[in-house]
Amino acid sequence: MKVDIYSRRAIGELMSKRFPPNTAVISFYTPQRTRGRAEDRVDYSGVCERVIYVPIPDIDLEILGDYGYTYDTYLSNADEVAAFILEAKRDGMDVICQCDYGQSRSAACAAAILQYFEGRGIDVFADYRYYANQLVYHKIYDALVRSGEQNGEAMRPQKKKP
């Protein structure tokens, strides 16, 4: 499974050309209910049939309460996102993770996917272009572990022997 990270601007450019076939999209946006600037969802109609929208602001653990969240309520649909990812993997699809700037929420999601399936999520954290949101990373990675184990699909890579 190929996993790519896109900003709102970059995905708009991609959508104006030829959108990659056999691709599922995880699209993050900031909902209206938060103190920060709300973002409109990217409209994938007619371009991509398999899309999940994730309405969460790009915030850290320390300020969850300032935005009306707890650890449990922030990204409360993480299990749904994990099921979406596992289904895309089963169907042989690639995944695009997209958020406003393509640096934090989408990078964290991509890191969680890469860590779960290939054991290389650190590649995203080590890339200077990204500031992967650790809260998003842990919520999605933990949900992938739970969902995979519940469905008998523990696909995490085996540890390499020395």
> For residue 160, what pLDDT band results from cuts at 50, 70 and 90?
very low
Residue 40 has a pLDDT of 84
3-class DSSP state of 53 = strand
Report the C-alpha gap between 145 and 156 in whole angstroms.
Answer: 8
Report the C-alpha gap between 104 and 125 in whole angstroms.
Answer: 10
**pLDDT for residue 35 is more than 50:** yes
Cβ-proximal residues to 113 (8 Å cutoff; 6+ apart), any chain = 1, 3, 85, 95, 97, 121, 140, 144
Sheet holding 3-6, edge to edge: 3-6, 94-98, 23-29, 51-55
Question: pLDDT tens for residues 60-116?
Answer: 999 999 999 999 999 999 999 999 999 999 999 999 999 999 999 999 999 999 999
**pLDDT for residue 159 is more than 50:** no
In percent, the amount of the chain with pLDDT more than 90 equals: 81
Report the C-alpha gap between 81 and 54 in whole angstroms.
Answer: 8
Per-residue pLDDT, averaged over 121-133, amounts to 96
